[in-house]
Amino acid sequence: MRVETTAKVSANRKSVRITTTDTYTGALVVLDAVHMPTGCATWPAFWSNGPNWPVGGEIDIVEGVNTNSDNQATIHTSHGCTIPSSNPSTLGITGTVVGGTNCAAAETGNAGCGMVATQSNTYGVGFNNNGGGVYAMQWVDSGISVWFFPRSSIPSDLSSGAPVPDGWGTPMAHWPSSGCDPSTFFSKHSAIFDTTLCGDWAGNVWESGGCAASTGVSTCQQYVQDNGSAFNDAYWEVERAAKLLREVAVSKTIVDVETVEDTIVFSSVSHTEFATALKGRTVEDAQRYGKVFYLTLSGEGRHPVMHFGMTGMLQVKGQLATYYRETPRKASVDWPPRFMKFILHLKGPTDAETTQVAFLDARRLGRIRLCASPLTEPPISALGFDPILGMPSAHDFKKGVRKRSCPVKALLLDQSFSAGVGNWVADEILYHARVHPEERCNALSDEQLAALFKQTSEVCRIAVSVNADDSKFPDDWLFKHRWGKGKKEKHTLKLSDGEPATIKWITVGGRTSAYVAELQKLQRGGAKSWSASNMPEDEADESDLTPLSGDEEEKVVKKVTRKRKRKSDSEERPRVIVQY
């Protein structure tokens, strides 16, 4: 849901507004978003209202303008609705009150009763850099409340689809029924997403809010008409309510487990021990960190922690496996599937039949473990920040980069620095940041570090938002053009002046790295590079396997990264999996 980005428009720039056709009176509304519109001239909101405004009332759950960093939640009503105090402690909120205690729209110049969050990750750039988060609005007889949960702090009951607001703690905003009875002032609401450009709020504070000075344009309207590229970040992106395992497994009991012996994929646990540990327990949640995903199970015992490697995937009985690139012609629903390592038999309280989910791994690059506390034990405990679940602050990111002297590409691939960044994603980040893969971390400029910080978050966010379906990647991504096929087929990547870009390859940190020579210039001497006609043979065979340890790493990694002759063009590009 985005704003039009045509370079220049002569009248109004197109935006978006989506309204539900169903209405509700009283509700628990949950928004899980990974990105929201931001930037000068934008006025995004997620809100609801009733008929005959303001008689049916309005509830603004997420709202702000321009470069704001703190979300504002507000109610607008007809005459007679008030809040008992402007003191946060009296109201029992974490936010602060703005606009007074009278919520009547007609009597307050439509200001209503607003409450502003005190955390800078609740709106705009801070929200997006943190991987977004979850907003929840509860509308009950005792009042209306709004909570915000950063991506890394979402309550498990919300993640599992069984929310219990009583356990969420102090809300960001709360309008008690003592002065504003919801049954009197709110009814038959529709939920609404929209992004207004300029308008009464963003346009009226254009100069006082600093946008006139920062853009060099005197009016909001002129800025909107002349600067389409300024709205590249003006979009809403809503996270799916549940991934595959949540859809088919959460709240179901594992009534049986089939396993196949594999002493490489099953790590520090036998296949029979794995089956015994899971059988009879209920799946409470499914989560991911970096390239690792795990299930939280009921009762005593350890929990399954899994890593796909390059060729791992899940398959539900009766469906094709979850390929992250195009589904092969030979894909099958035959059961049990080839290369199966385990099958979970799941059954809910009201299910007539079991659901079966299999873990497949053709090249045996994945790992299956059991952990008593997945987040505090290896492999997850040894990982760095997850760019989707929790980017560090810009200050901490720059500090972490500058204290290292290795090439920046090697740092991005270091899972103890940034969890989940694989080889092609690291190249994509560096391409958009315009940084050469061999630049030394401690020699990067402030401008390069700022670009690296932004693109580490942005590239990962885009890749995950489309489930790493490369057909949906932007056309200007290096990924679309980096797979050399010799002299007969040339890539189509163009520079801004229309001339063809020069894609070269070098080895950095033992990994083949693609870069664009005209845009990513090294300020010192570099290693040997290759053009598309003589790209290294092993480019498509590199493993994104999370490093193991000791002798196991040396033996296994050497085995799976050996060169092999390509059989067809279809094998030249590695299958894209959800890891960044």
Task: Please indicate, yes or no, if residue 116 is contained in any of the structural domains.
Answer: yes
Contact yes or no for 478/489 (Cβ under 8 A): no
Looking at 196, 216, 238, the residue that finishes a domain is 238
Alpha helices in 299-436 (DSSP H): 394-402, 408-413, 423-433
Average pLDDT over residues 527-534: 44
Phi, psi torsion values for 354, nearest 5 degrees: -80, 150
Q: Which residues contact 405 (CB under 8 A, 6 or more apart)?
A: 440, 441, 442
* Residue 358 identity: A
- Same domain as 558, residue 417: yes
Q: Is the pLDDT of residue 237 over 60?
A: yes
Task: Say yes or no: 252 and 233 in one domain.
Answer: no
Q: Is 60 exceeded by the pLDDT of residue 214?
A: yes
pLDDT tens sequence across 342-362? 999 999 998 899 999 999 988
Closest to 201 in 3D by CA, of 41, 308, 348: 41
pTM score over 0.75: no
Domain identity same for 136 and 218:
yes
**Domain holding 339: CATH number?**
3.20.190.10
C-alpha closest to that of 258 among 284, 276, 234? 276
Residue 560: its pLDDT value, please?
35
The pLDDT of residue 532 is above 60: no
What distance in Å separates the CA atoms of residue 48 and residue 19, rounded to the nearest whole number?
9
- Tell me which residue has tokens 């594992």: 254
In a domain, 580, yes or no: no
Say whether both 270 and 410 belong to one domain: no
Q: Is residue 3 part of a domain?
A: no
Q: Write down the pLDDT at residue 382.
A: 84
Identify whether residues 187 and 335 lie together within a single domain: no
What is the spatial distance between Cα 454 and Cα 289, in angstroms, rounded to a whole number? Answer: 20
Per residue in 164-178, pLDDT tens? 999 999 999 999 999
Q: Are residues 230 and 259 in the same domain?
A: no
Does the pLDDT value for residue 486 go beyond 60? no
| Same structural domain, 175 and 38 | yes
**Domain's final residue, options 222, 238, 254:** 238
Domain count within the chain: 3
Q: In the structure encoding, which two tokens stand for residue 505, read together?
A: 């390859």
Q: What is the pLDDT of residue 246?
A: 63
Question: Residue 548 — pLDDT band, cuts 50, 70, 90?
Answer: very low
Q: Residue 579 pLDDT > 70, yes or no?
A: no
- Tell which residue, 168, 147, 205, 182, has the closest CA to residue 58: 182
Catalytic residues: 58, 63
Q: Per the domain annotation, does 579 fall within a domain?
A: no
How many CB atoms within 10 Å of residue 476?
11
Question: How high is the pLDDT of residue 480?
Answer: 84
Residue 106 sits in the same domain as residue 122: yes
Q: Among 175-184, 188-197, 344-353, 518-527, which stretch is predicted with the lowest mean pLDDT?
A: 518-527
In a domain, 341, yes or no: yes
Residue 569 predicted with pLDDT over 50: no
Q: How far apart are CA 241 and CA 128, in angstroms?
A: 18
- The mean pLDDT value for 35-48 works out to 94
Q: Are residues 220 and 288 in the same domain?
A: no
In a domain, 352, yes or no: yes
**Domain C-terminal end among 213, 238, 263:** 238
Beta-carbon count within 10 A of 118 CB:
13
Alpha helices in 72-120 (DSSP H): 88-91
Beta strand pairing call for 355-361 and 312-316 = antiparallel
Same domain, 378 and 462: no
55 lies in which domain range?
Answer: 17-238
Which CATH number does the domain housing residue 131 bear? 2.60.120.200
Element at 307 (helix H, strand E)? strand 303-307
Indicate if 132 and 252 belong to the same structural domain.
no
Alpha helices in 105-172 (DSSP H): 124-129, 156-159
CATH of the domain at 560: 1.10.8.50
Residues 102 and 192 in one domain: yes
- Give the pLDDT of residue 408: 94
pLDDT (mean) for 419-427: 87
